Structure 1
Amino acid sequence: MSVLEGEGWLPIGSVVHLNENGHLVMIAGAMQRDENTGRLWDYMGFPYPEGNMKPGESLMFNRSDIDRVYFLGYQSLSGIDFLEFLKKNEAEFRKRQLSAEEAVRQAGEAPASHDAVNDADYESTTDESDQDLFEEQWGVEHDTAE
């Protein structure tokens, strides 16, 4: 099975169609934490073709929300290394994702709804670099040098 068939991670810049909401989204980040809810999402992206027009327009979504890949993002040596990094850390990410969902449920919030990717409660933007995010969230450094 390939990334085009829903297996594995998609490169940054990939354009996908999300289930049930009719939007095209360009992937701009992977393994993302929603700062407001603490939920962990597979991807963060922006509406395509508009992009990031204003704060709060980012969409958080999971691999299961993608029903079609329209464009596979640019792949370089550092991009391939990054996809390997995601693959290597996926099991730990999934554990943390389940723990975060359980914490949200125990706090009395509604469970995550994959068709609610447009809800402001599920959106997140950040000013930090990807390197800082990975160091902060996962405690690992990711070398992006080619």
Structure 2
Amino acid sequence: MTQQLLPNGSIVILKQGEKKLVIYGRKQILALEQPQMFDYLACPYPEGYVSPEFAYVFNHEDIQDIIFTGYQDEEEEQFQTVLAETKAT
């Protein structure tokens, strides 16, 4: 990975998207026939999590605009190291 992932709480708009999404998970595995790892798990902003049908997984390169970057502290910086070591499947 060449860049750090955005922290939880970040708000983004995806390419070809109009609705803001708030990130609440990172390095998520979607359990399909062939499990696939995604950089982010998000839900609509400002509504928040409503149901699984309104939870979205996507990768960093799918982001068009970063509206807000979530809270970052020492603990987040340490967790970025863990995220960087997590390999995509």
- 1:56 paired with 2:56, answer no
Structure with the higher fraction of residues in strand conformation? 2
- 1:31 paired with 2:15, answer no
Q: Which runs of 5+ in 2 are unaligned?
A: none
* Paired letter, 2:80: L
| Runs of 4+ off more than 6 Å | none
Root-mean-square deviation (Å)? 1.7
Residue matched to 2:80: 83
Structure with the higher fraction of residues in helix conformation? 1
Identity %: 31
- 1:17 paired with 2:13, answer yes
TM-score (norm 1): 0.54
Q: Which runs of 5+ in 1 are unaligned?
A: 1-5, 97-146
TM superposition shift of 1:56 = 2.5
Higher relative contact order (CA 8 A, sep 6+): 2
Q: How many residues align?
A: 87
TM superposition shift of 1:21 = 2.1
TM superposition shift of 1:7 = 3.5
